[in-house]
A and B are shown apart, each in its own frame.
Chain A
């Protein structure tokens, strides 16, 4: 017998309700799971994004570190170059200072000889000679002596700062003071004496700082004597020695020339004198040349 459809329907309805409920629960569960998975996915994506960012940042840091290394190396090179340039600059500076010093010494010598030979007037020559010792060398007291061949005496012809009147020095005579004897010796031997800037205080020491024989060509004609130096002058410098050499070679010539000029009342001798000298000099040179060729 067939079942009552109502009965048959009541059972499945409950079942269906139960199934629907179960289905609804499952759907809810699925939705929740879905939501949970979405959240999890979002979290993973966020984490992934973070990791990507971090990775990119690490790469950037790597790049930056490499750049820093490169810049550091460049900096070291530049510092080395700067150090080299500084060294070179300092070396150039020192060299320039040395050259300026040398130039200054040459200027002193040039100016001294220029002024000395710029005149033939005895009073100007003497003025220049005094200035040379006083201003360029730093002498406080000094004198120039010339030889008087007739009396064999060194006669003072100019002096500066000497309180007592200087007396002539008769060569090879008895009773000369230590200082006079030192002056005589320099003249007789032709050897210059350049001592300490401050003369020795010993009783038997000559009271002079320098004594320079003066020559005209090879002939001794006098001496230049520096007795004392300026307070601030502590020692003779390299340029002083050069100035003394210049004085030895030029002061005598300047003095003697000025004496001749004064004796001639400033009249310049006839030019034939020079012409004859030149002719004679040329003939001598030719003869010497011919003699060498013959040898």
Chain B
């Protein structure tokens, strides 16, 4: 069975735990956690990831800046990025997708919703 590596960037421990739980339902994903954008970049530099799930509003470096940095990273520039955020406005969604995010999920989230999104982006049947 293929094993994927996912990076979860989220400053809220509660949300992080919830996203990790959602990913655990796929049974084939190894999850690395980061507390903000800078921590996320550090973790990206230290490994190879198949997917990134990130919040937007975070201290130090927000999720949108992180997406921009990922898209210029030679190793991870093609990695699918899922934005998970409280910002539900259409213009926020548009902006994130224009910056290179592949999917935009608004909070509050339910695990099956995250699972479906990850499966679609990683083409897991």
Find B18's partner among A97, A103, A136, A232 (CB 8 Å cutoff): A136
A135 near B: Cβ within 8 Å?
yes
Is B112 close to A, CB under 8 A?
yes
B103 within 8 A of A: no
What residues on B are CB-neighbors of A136 within 8 Å? Answer: 14-15, 18, 108
Contact B14 A232 (CB under 8 A): no
Separation of A230 and B107 alpha carbons in the complex (Å): 9
B62: min CB distance to chain A, Å? 16
In chain B, what residue has the closest Cβ to A115?
B14
The residue that B111 contacts in the complex, of A107, A115, A232, A233, with Cβ under 8 A, is A107
Q: Are B112 and A107 in contact (CB under 8 A)?
A: no
- CB interface residues, B 1-43, toward A, < 8 Å: 12-15, 17-18, 21-22, 25
When distances are taken between beta carbons in the complex, the residues of chain A under 8 Å from B15 are 131, 135-136
Cβ-closest chain A residue relative to B114: A104
Measured as residues with beta carbon below 8 angstroms from the partner, the interface class of chain A is 20 to 34
Whether B21 lies near A107 (C-beta < 8 A) is: yes
User: Which single residue of chain B is at the shortest CB-CB distance from A136?
Assistant: B108
Question: Which of A128, A135, A136, A239 is packed against the most chain B CB atoms within 10 Å?
Answer: A135
Cross-chain contact B88 with A114 (CB below 8 angstroms):
no
How distant is the Cα of A142 from the Cα of B10 in the complex, in angstroms? 21
* Structural contact, A100 and B13, CB atoms closer than 8 A: no
Q: Which of B13, B14, B106 contacts A230 (CB 8 A)?
A: B106
Q: Tell me whether B72 is interfacial, beta carbon within 8 Å.
A: no
- Name the distance in Å between B39's Cβ and chain A's nearest Cβ: 18
Min CB gap B19→A, angstroms: 10
Q: Are A232 and B106 in contact (CB under 8 A)?
A: yes
Q: Which residues of B contact A115 (CB under 8 A)?
A: 13-14, 17
B residues with a Cβ closer than 8 A to A are 12-15, 17-18, 21-22, 25, 86, 88-89, 106-108, 110-112, 115
- Pairs A–B under 8 Å by Cβ, sample size 21: A100-B112, A104-B110, A105-B110, A107-B18, A107-B21, A108-B110, A114-B17, A115-B13, A128-B14, A131-B13, A135-B12, A135-B86, A135-B107, A135-B108, A136-B108, A138-B86, A230-B86, A230-B88, A230-B106, A232-B88, A239-B110
| Interface residues in chain A, defined as those with a beta carbon under 8 Å from any beta carbon in chain B | 97, 100-101, 103-105, 107-108, 111-112, 114-115, 128, 131-132, 134-138, 140, 230-233, 239
